[in-house]
Structure 1
Amino acid sequence: MDFILNYIDFVLHIDRHLDVLIQTYGTWVYLILFAIIFCETGLVVTPFLPGDSLLFVTGTVAARGSLDLQTTLILLISAAIIGDNVNYWIGRFVGQKIVERKWVKQEYLDRTHHFYEKYGGKTIFIGKFLPIIRTFAPFVAGIAKMTYPKFLAFNISGAITWM
């Protein structure tokens, strides 16, 4: 039972353990950081991951020289962009299934589509700075069938600004 509690504590507070990770895993830390940001932005079931605090701590550690700043920025921006894209396309796929199974009326999806066409860019961009919203906004954009080029433009600009 202690192992499970320690594991949960580690995942939820990975920002506190970053120095230990660097000492233990060396350059593999870049993959670990990429995976955490990817999962937080790309998987609807992982909004609890510590994205914002991890970015602050990672920036501090990179400023100290323990991580290469340029490599860190490129990897984490890529993780956020790719994660949101995966989340968007999961939403596109799931949205069709929701309509096919009659869980949600088509009218509601049409309304959501119109909302995202009008305000979706702001939602995606600003949502990057709001935990939980950051995870769900791309998913809902996919369900609502927000125009992909518009989604992608705001996703990229939001990810760069978030870092």
Structure 2
Amino acid sequence: MIFEYIAGAIVGGMGYGGYTALFILMALESMIAPIPSEIVMPFAGFLVVQGKFSLMAVALVAALGSVFGSLISYWLGVFGGRRFILRFGNYLLLDESHLQWTENFFRRYGEKTIFISRFIPVVRHLISIPAGIGNMRVGRFIAYTFFGALIWNTFLAWVGMKLKERWEIVHIYSSQIDYVMVGLLAVFLAWFVYKHFKKSSA
């Protein structure tokens, strides 16, 4: 029922608003709104097949929308997240040392983290705020968000083009895709921990 409502709203919005609606939907998706790209982008791919959109424009507009929404979350982290932790962090067992750790992490691994997160469910919606809290360089944040989003969104649109009228089944199998992505993330984290401890013991 919820899926049908969301899918109906997306289909209606994009059918009426075109590229503007696509930009807004992908921006909202990057701001923790319950708008899955697994619905938006396959339908955009279907519209490409119908001749209403072009794949290049869909990929670019969607990626720019993702960057715009992510930037809003990023700046919330920069201006709101740090102040919140410094003021109320003691209630959450957080202090300035945790801010320093976050800064060090994004200074060393920010690019990889932001890029990979674009392929991971839930993570891609949340990672921008910690990146802002960690004071990741905004230029690099934009670049890696853009290219990660460009690849993921283009892939989903391409799948929608291949499925045509059956584009909605992407959502049915999206959980399996999510499991694969989470598994890849787990492998990456295991490699990261192994490498980190190997350096520490050397």
Query: Shorter-chain TM-score: what band?
Result: 0.7 to 0.9
Deviation at 1:112, TM superposition (A): 1.4
Q: Which of the numbers 25, 41, 59 marks the counterpart of 1:36?
A: 25
Gaps of 5+ in 1: none
Q: Which amino acid aligns with 1:119?
A: Y
Gaps of 5+ in 2: 154-202
Contact 1:117 1:146 in 2 (8 A): yes
The list of structure 1 runs, each at least 4 consecutive aligned residues, that deviate by more than 6 angstroms after superposition, is none
Aligned residue in 2 for 1:50: 36
Tell me the C-alpha RMSD between the 2 structures. Answer: 2.4
Q: Which amino acid aligns with 2:65?
A: A
**Compared CA separation, residues 22 and 79, structure 1 to 2 (3 A):** closer
Residue 5 of structure 2 corresponds to residue 10 of structure 1: yes
Aligned residue in 1 for 2:97: 107
Contact 2:14 2:22 in 1 (8 A): no
Contact 1:14 1:54 in 2 (8 A): no
Mean CA deviation greater in 104-113 or 94-103: 94-103
Q: Which of the numbers 106, 112, 116 marks the counterpart of 1:116?
A: 106
Alignment of 1:45-84 (within 5 A): 46=33, 48-84=34-70
Instruction: Give the Cα separation in 2 of the matches to 1:111 and 1:131.
Output: 24
Deviation at 1:64, TM superposition (A): 3.0
Instruction: Give the Cα separation in 1 of the matches to 2:64 and 2:139.
Output: 17
TM-score normalised per structure 1: 0.78
- Based on CA coordinates, which of the two structures has the bigger radius of gyration? 2
Cα shift readout 1:27-81 (whole Å, capped 9, x = no counterpart)? x23222211100111x24x2x3111332122113213323233332232121012
Identity over aligned residues, as a percent? 26
**Which structure carries more helix by proportion?**
2
**Compared CA separation, residues 162 and 22, structure 1 to 2 (3 A):** closer
